[in-house]
Amino acid sequence: MTPPSTLFSLIVRQQPCKARLCSFKEKVDRRPIDPPPIIQLQSNHTDHDFLQNPYFFLYATLTDTSGETDLHFVHGNRTTAGTVVQSLHKLKDVDNTDGGFFIFSDISIRLEGFYRLKFTLYEIDGFFVKRMCSIVSNVFQVYSPKSFPGMSESTFLTRSFSDQGVRIRIRKEPRSSLSTSSNHKKRRKDKVSDEEEEEEEEEEVSPMSSAHHSCSPLPERKETFSPMSMQNILSNDNDSETRLFSTRKLPLPLPSQPLPPPPQHNTHHHHPHPHSWISQPPI
What confidence tens digit (pLDDT) does each residue in 186-204 have?
555 444 444 444 444 444 4
Give residue 64's pLDDT band: very low, low, confident or very high (50, 70, 90): very high
| Mean pLDDT value of segment 248-265 | 58
Check whether 164 has a pLDDT greater than 50.
Answer: yes
Q: Is the pLDDT of residue 184 over 90?
A: no
In a domain, 140, yes or no: yes
Per-residue confidence (pLDDT) for residue 259, from 0 to 100 = 58
Residue 91 lies in a domain: yes
pLDDT of 175 over the 80 cut: no
pLDDT, position 25: 73
Q: Is residue 107 part of a domain?
A: yes
d(CA 100, CA 86): 12
Q: In this predicted structure, what is the pLDDT of residue 148? A: 94
Count: domains in the chain: 1
Residue 70 belongs to a domain: yes
Inside any domain, residue 22 = yes
- DSSP string computed for 26-85: SS------BSPPEEEEEES-SS-GGGG-TTEEEEEEEE-TTS-SB--EETTEESEEE--E
Whether residue 114 is predicted with pLDDT greater than 80 in this model: the reply is yes
| Band of pLDDT at residue 31, cut at 50, 70 and 90 | confident
Is 59 a domain residue? yes
User: What is the pLDDT at residue 141?
Assistant: 96
The whole domain housing 24 covers 4-147
Residue range 227-236: average pLDDT?
A: 50
User: Has residue 82 been placed in a domain?
Assistant: yes
First to last CA, the chain: 132
Q: Is residue 168 part of a domain?
A: no
Angle at 93 between CA 16 and CA 150, to 5 degrees: 25
